Each structure stands twice: as structure tokens, then as C-alpha cells.
């Protein structure tokens, strides 16, 4: 049974209970698994030799198992040093990107849940890759652990908003979120963890039913169904009306505020009428609205000019919900929202 574990598993991603089972499997006391859990997630030590309270025999057996499922390949840092984009290699050679952002007292990481994406939003760079694979919970949370080690500041917030659609990798995404939240380990507050979806209605229902404690963000990006359908093909399966209905039901069931994301595209969804339609669409829902001026990629879509954005924003002056403009960081290194795509040639390797 132990032989089956060799070179086929990674410790990062395992829960406390799984590590306790591993300790027993390796003929050690159950509490050794708890000590190992502490080294991995609290102390964030990745060298067995430094796990000083573990018996030598236990450490020697563990050396047959790898700790990290990801390997850092390359990184790009903005000139301002406020944003970094990191390229990781999976064990099978596939690549995934993560983003680290500093702003004031907040340090936020944007984690990916898939290699590529099947949702195929027309304005998103990741969609151009198609869907390649789901990440394991270990591959998801390992992004956090790598970035925390490289960050000068403690990570305060996590958003599952990188490559991929988190709700199409629901089980692994939620397992990673719970590992982040586990009070015995990383112990990040649930209110500091946000899971974003392009609008998978059945999974939003499940998320509410499961009473998940984390925040929820939903990408609207259109003020009516036809408009949204042109840029988000998922609208064929989950109409805008259905998405609004399930979002309202979520807030009523959980008593939590939902965040709606709205990417502004020039001459597509940035008119004053779009703003008015948007208010009518979500005014009865306990929510906040994030307006995101489009981050351009190689494609037909463009970012509205600043004047158009400000005129759009003024329509919301008396809206019954808070509205913010999220000026994406890291556009100069293609680290803004919707710009993630794994092309190694776009990186400058840092030694």
C-alpha cells in the first residue's frame, strides 16, 4: 500500500485527517499527522529535515513523497512592484498562472482552478486556450503557498478568479478553500476568500445549499440577455434571467451579499442605457457591483475611454447598492482580469 503512494501523490492538498491516516499507514502515531499538517500549512516548511519534532524514521519515509505538486517556472513583476504574475508547471507539464497584488494594507492572490477554460467568454484570453484539465485541490492551494513564500507581505485576501471556471471544478475548488480556512492550518477568514463564477446556475444553487461560508462573485457583463449571449456563450445554458433569479435566491437563503462583476466593453455594454438597465436588473438583490474597465488582449474588444466610464458611473449615483470601479493592476504584464494565458515566451525569468 505504501509502495502505491511513492511518486504518485503530493502532501500539499491533503487535509489533517488524510495526513493522520498517512502517519498510521507509515506505522507512526496518528498525532504525527497533525504535526506534519502544522509544518506544511502553519509553518509552511517544505524541507523534511527542518521538521524537527518528527522522528527521523518518519521523515525518511516521507522523503519518498513529494511535498509540492507545482513548480515555479517563471515570473513577471510590474515596474511598480505592486503586481506579479507567476507561471507554474504541473507534474504532467501543463502550465497555469497566478497573480499576486499589493495595495495598501491588502495583499491579494488570484488563484486558478483549471488549465484553460471551457466557458469560452469571447473577450477573455484564457478562453482561447480551451479547456485542458481541472486542477486538484493541492494544485490550487499550492499556488497560495508558493506566492506566500515569495511575498514580502502576509496574504490577506484570496480570490478564485484566475484561469478557469471554479464552479466547473467545484469539489476541488471548495476543498482548497476549506484548507485555506481551516483554523488548525492557514486559518484565513472566510470573508477574505471569494469564489467567482461566470454563472453556473446549478452550482450557485449547490453553493447555497452547502452553506459555504465564503464570498460569492458572479460575472454579469451584460445588461440584457442578448447582449450577454454575444460575449458569454454560457448564456445559452444559463440565461440572464435564471442567473438573476438564482443570485437573488442565494442572498435570501444565505443572508449574504453577492458581488456582481461587470466588465465594460467599448460600444458593447457601456452606454447610459446599459447602466440604467443594470440598475433595474439587480436593484432588488442584496449586492454590490464591481465595474471593471476591460483589459485588452489580442482581439476585437476595446476598453471604454475614461470619460465614458465616468459617465457610466454617474448613473449609479443613487443606486440602492454600492458600486466600485476596479481598475485592474498588472496590465503591463498581462496580469489583469481576463488576461491570463500560459505562453512562456511572454515571461522574463527572474533568478
Lowest mean pLDDT among 26-40, 89-103, 336-350: 336-350
Between CA 350 and CA 75 the distance in angstroms is 6
Higher local confidence (pLDDT), 350 or 79: 79
Same fold, 2-62 and 71-346: no
The pLDDT of residue 335 is 41
Three-class secondary structure of residue 332 per DSSP: helix
Cell of 238: 444559463
97 is catalytic: yes
Percent of the chain with pLDDT over 70: 91
The domains of the chain are located at 2-62, 71-346
Encode pLDDT of 170-204 as tens digits: 999 999 999 999 999 999 999 999 999 999 999 99
Q: Quick check: 338 pLDDT over 50?
A: no
The Cα 206–Cα 221 span in angstroms is 23
**Confidence band for 98, pLDDT divided at 50, 70 and 90:** very high
Q: Which of 26-30, 171-175, 257-261, 301-305 has the lowest mean pLDDT?
A: 301-305
CB 263 within 8 A of CB 199: no
State the average pLDDT over residues 68-94: 91
Going from the C-alpha of 36 to that of each of 25, 49, 64, 176, the distances in angstroms are: 14, 12, 15, 18
| Of 10, 34, 42, the residue nearest 138 (C-alpha) | 10
pLDDT at 128: 81
**Which of 97, 139, 165, 212 is flagged as catalytic?**
97
The 10s digit of each residue's pLDDT in 102-151 is 988 999 999 999 999 988 888 887 778 889 999 999 999 999 999 999 99
Q: Which residue has the higher pLDDT, 5 or 195?
A: 195
Strands 71-77 and 83-89: antiparallel
On the question of pLDDT at 208 being above 90, the answer is: yes
Give CA angle at 218 (213, 223), nearest 5°: 150
Helix extents (H) in the chain? 2-5, 16-25, 31-37, 56-62, 137-150, 170-181, 201-209, 225-231, 240-254, 272-282, 306-314
Q: Which CATH architecture has domain 2-62?
A: Orthogonal Bundle (1.10)
Name residue, grid cell 506566492. 147
How far the first Cα of the chain sits from its last, in Å, is 40
Segment 291-314, tens digit of pLDDT: 999 988 777 899 999 999 999 999
Rounded to whole angstroms, the Cα distance separating 204 from 197 reads 8
Give the distance between the most distant pair of CA atoms in the chain: 69
Q: Per-residue confidence at 328, pLDDT binned at 50, 70, 90?
A: low
- Average pLDDT, whole number, for the chain? 90
Q: Are strands 106-111 and 258-264 parallel, antiparallel or unpaired?
A: unpaired
pTM for the model stands at: 0.90
Closest of 183, 172, 154, 139 to residue 38, by C-alpha? 183
Q: Is CATH 3.40.50.12280 the classification given to domain 71-346? A: no
Phi, psi (rounded to 5 degrees) for 299: -175, -175
**Percent of the chain scoring above 90 in pLDDT:** 80
Contact (CB, 8 A) for 158 and 108: yes
**Predicted confidence (pLDDT) per residue in 49-59, tens digit:** 999 999 999 99
Q: Is 242 a catalytic residue?
A: no
- Say whether 298 sits in a helix, a strand or coil: coil
Reported as a pLDDT band with limits 50, 70 and 90, residue 61 is very high
Look at residues 147, 165, 10, 154 and name the one whose alpha carbon lies nearest to residue 91: 10
Using CA atoms, how far residue 104 sits from 108, 248, 269, in Å, is 11, 33, 31
> Which grid coordinates are listed for 153?
507581505
Is the per-residue pLDDT at 333 higher than 50?
Answer: no
Per annotation, catalytic residue among 110, 117, 287, 337: 337
Amino acid at each position: 500500500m505504501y509502495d502505491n503512494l511513492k511518486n504518485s501523490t503530493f502532501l500539499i492538498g491533503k487535509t489533517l485527517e488524510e495526513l493522520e491516516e498517512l502517519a498510521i499507514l507509515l506505522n507512526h502515531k496518528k498525532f504525527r499527522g497533525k504535526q506534519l499538517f502544522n509544518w506544511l500549512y502553519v509553518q509552511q516548511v517544505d524541507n523534511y529535515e527542518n521538521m524537527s519534532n518528527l522522528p527521523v524514521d518518519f521523515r525518511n519515509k516521507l522523503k519518498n513523497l513529494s511535498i509540492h505538486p507545482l513548480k515555479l517556472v517563471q515570473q513577471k513583476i510590474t515596474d511598480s512592484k505592486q503586481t506579479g504574475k507567476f507561471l507554474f508547471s504541473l507534474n504532467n507539464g501543463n502550465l497555469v498562472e497566478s497573480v499576486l497584488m499589493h495595495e495598501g494594507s491588502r495583499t491579494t492572490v488570484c488563484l486558478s482552478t483549471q488549465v484553460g477554460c471551457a466557458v469560452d467568454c469571447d473577450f477573455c484570453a484564457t478562453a482561447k486556450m480551451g479547456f485542458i484539465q481541472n486542477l486538484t485541490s493541492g494544485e490550487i492551494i499550492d499556488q497560495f503557498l508558493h506566492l506566500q513564500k515569495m511575498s514580502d507581505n502576509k496574504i490577506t485576501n484570496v480570490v478564485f478568479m484566475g484561469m478557469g471556471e471554479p464552479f466547473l471544478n467545484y469539489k476541488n475548488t471548495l476543498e482548497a478553500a476549506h484548507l485555506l480556512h481551516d483554523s488548525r492550518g492557514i486559518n484565513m477568514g472566510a470573508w477574505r476568500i471569494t469564489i467567482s463564477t461566470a454563472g453556473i446556475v446549478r452550482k450557485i444553487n449547490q453553493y447555497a445549499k452547502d452553506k459555504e461560508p465564503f464570498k460569492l462573485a458572479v460575472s454579469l457583463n451584460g445588461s440584457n440577455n442578448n447582449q450577454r449571449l454575444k460575449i458569454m456563450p454560457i448564456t445559452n445554458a444559463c440565461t440572464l434571467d435564471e442567473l438573476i433569479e438564482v443570485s437573488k435566491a442565494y442572498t435570501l437563503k444565505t443572508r449574504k451579499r453577492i458581488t456582481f462583476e461587470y466588465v465594460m466593453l467599448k460600444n458593447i455594454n457601456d452606454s447610459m442605457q446599459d447602466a440604467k438597465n443594470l440598475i433595474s436588473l439587480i436593484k432588488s438583490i442584496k449586492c454590490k457591483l464591481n465595474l471593471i474597465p476591460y483589459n485588452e488582449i489580442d482581439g476585437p474588444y476595446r476598453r471604454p475611454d475614461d470619460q465614458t466610464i465616468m459617465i457610466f458611473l454617474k448613473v449609479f449615483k443613487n443606486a440602492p447598492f454600492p458600486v466600485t470601479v476596479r481598475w485592474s493592476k498588472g496590465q503591463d504584464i498581462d496580469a489583469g482580469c481576463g488576461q491570463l494565458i500560459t505562453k512562456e515566451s511572454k515571461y522574463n525569468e527572474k533568478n
